[in-house]
Every structure is written in C-alpha cells, then in structure tokens.
Amino acid sequence: MRKTIPLFPLNLVPFPGEDLNLHIFEERYRQLINDCNENNLTFGVVPLIDGVLSNVGTEFKLVEISQIYEDGRMDIKTKGLAAFQLLDYSLILNDKLYPGGDVDILEDENSTDFKLKVKIIKLREELYEVMGLDPKLKINIDTMLSYDIAHELAMSIEQEIELLSLRSEIKRLVYLHDHLQRILPSIMGLKEMKRKVKLNGHFKKVP
C-alpha cells in the first residue's frame, strides 16, 4: 500500500512491534510529533548510515507524549507498525518544517518455525555466556518473533537493515541463525586467545 507520511531519519534500525522512546528537541521534529498527535498521523523512521538514507524503514504510531519541557523539547513513546520501502524523499513535506515522502507498506509472510527458534535461542545463550552476560530470555519463545531479539544478537546496523528488508518471518529466523553461527566461533576464539595471553602475564596488551 502506497502512502505519503512524515519521515524521521535516525542512526538506528527500529523494527515493527518495537517500543521506541525518543527525546525530541529539533523544532522540525517537534512540529512532526505535534502534527501526528493532533491529526492521528503515523510517521516513518528511516535508518541513516553515514549520511545516506536506507531504502527501507518502519512506520510508527505515536503512543504518548510523556513530557513537554519549557523550551518545547518533549519525551515521547511510539510503537512500530510495519516495514516499508522508501519510494521518494523530500527534505520538506508540503509546507512543513520536517521531511516526508512516499512509501510502500510491505506485506509480510508471518509463518514461523518453532524448531528454528529453539536453535536460535540456544546459540544466543552460548553467545551471552561467552560474553559474560545474563542469557535469560525475557520473552516467551512461543510468541517470539525475529524482530523481538534482533537487537540482542550483535548485528551491525547494515545487517539489521538487511533483516528489515526480508519479507518472511522464516527467512528472518534463518538470517539470525546463520549470523549467530558465523560470529560465535570468532568470539569464542578471541576469548580463548585472551585467556592464553593472560596466563603469560600480558593480558593488558590485548585490546
């Protein structure tokens, strides 16, 4: 479905279903949020990498303006709705201060694979144990989607954009599984190298 929406470029990749809290300070984006609040509009968050916009993004709805400061800054809560393809971008949307553009809301294939999710969770636990982090999963694996844990798996912003561009939940799960299988051996190898160097009394020389 093609539509024109306000756009908010950010140096991050938020996903559909994600709760995103933002501190808004620029005048143009304060206007964007006020327009969304007054007119029940959605807006798009487009990942910005080294000054270049991604060709995919996520549509968001404004859930709440939590606080408005004396100088006009505001804290807001938003919720991710759906991924979109960016078709056209304008620095100024109509007569507004903020940017906007035409997007195509992408349809998604939501079938899943429980056995694959179990494999991903086991690999995630291995990753967290190697990194000395708490491996406990905070959500129910039965209802878990790829987007729910993607930020927890040490992916680059480019990899997260690639994940967002996939239009099948199973393809996204395969992507996460393959990513974890690739990075785990190198992380485990680095940990072992540090252990050996430490035994030789030169641990401080290892970055």
Domains of the chain, by residue range, sit at: 2-105, 114-205
Write out the two tokens for 167. 């239009």
What is the CATH number that goes with domain 2-105?
Answer: 2.30.130.40
Query: Residue 103's closest CA among 32, 17, 21, 45?
Result: 45
Tell which residue, 104, 102, 94, has the closest CA to residue 28. Answer: 94
Phi then psi for 87, rounded to 5 degrees?
Answer: -100, -35
Residues 106-141 pLDDT 10s:
999 989 999 999 999 999 999 998 888 898 888 999
In the chain, the largest separation of any two C-alpha atoms, in whole Å, equals: 66
Q: Give the model's pLDDT for residue 206.
A: 46
N-to-C CA span, the chain: 49
Angle between helices 169-199 and 114-130 (to 10 degrees): 20
pTM for this structure? 0.87
Low-confidence ranges of the chain (pLDDT < 50): 197, 202-207
